[in-house]
Amino acid sequence: MKKSTILTFATAVAIVATSAGTFAAWDQLEDTSDVANLVVGTPVTVQAGTLTTFSEESRVLGDTLPSYTSTVEFNVVDNNSKVSTLTLQPILTDSSDQPIDSSKATIEITQDGADNGLTGNVDSKVEATNTYNVKVSVKDASLAGETLKVSVKGTLQ
C-alpha cells in the first residue's frame, strides 16, 4: 500500500474517532425521571352484622299469616365512592340447611329513612353503615314448630 493511502485511512479513522468522541460527550442519550411516591390504597370491604333476634308481628287470628321481623347491618369500609351498589340476597333454610321453598315462606328486605336507596334488594345509596329490615312471612302451616335459619348475603358492586 502506498503511503498516501495509509495516510488517508489514518486521517479518516482520526476524524471518525474525534467525531464519535465529540458526539458522545455532547449528546445526552438517556435520562431518569424524578422519583414520585405511590401510596397503595386499602381494599373496600363489606362486613355483615348479626341479625337481631326475630320478633313476631302482631296478627289477627285467622286473618293474617305469621310474620317475623329483624334488622341486619352491613358496614362498608373504605368506600371512597368506589362502590355504586350493595346487592342483598336473603337466604332461608330449615334446620338441616335445606332451602325453604318460596311457596312456604318468603323474606322481604326493606330500608327506612333518608338512606333508603333499596329497590329490588339492590341498595344504590351505599353508606358506611347500612341498616335493613328483614321480614319473614310464613305461608305454610307445615313449618309450625320448625327452626328456620335466616341470613342475608351482601355483595358490593
pLDDT per residue over 23-76, tens digit each? 556 788 889 999 999 998 888 899 999 999 999 998 888 777 899 999 999 999
CATH of the domain at 105: 2.60.40
Residue 40 included in any domain: no
**Residue 102 main-chain phi, psi, to 5 deg:** -65, -15
Residue 149 included in any domain: yes
Domain containing 11: what range? 1-31
Cβ atoms of 109 and 134 within 8 Å: the answer is yes
Q: Considering the entire predicted model, what is its pTM? A: 0.75
- Bridge partners for 92 per DSSP: 150
Look at the chain and report how many structural domains it folds into: 2
Reading the block at residue 113, the C-alpha cell is 329513612
User: Cα-Cα-Cα-Cα dihedral of 77, 75, 88, 114, to 10°?
Assistant: -110
Q: What count of other Cβ atoms lies within 10 Å of the Cβ of residue 140? A: 13
Same-domain status, 57 and 79: yes
In which residue are the cell numbers 464519535 written?
Answer: 20
How deeply is 113 buried, as exposed, middle or buried, from its count of CB atoms within 10 A (0-12, 13-18, 19+)?
exposed
**pLDDT tens digit sequence for 81-129:** 788 899 999 999 999 999 999 999 999 999 988 778 899 999 999 988 9
Residues in the chain: 157
Residue 142 included in any domain: yes
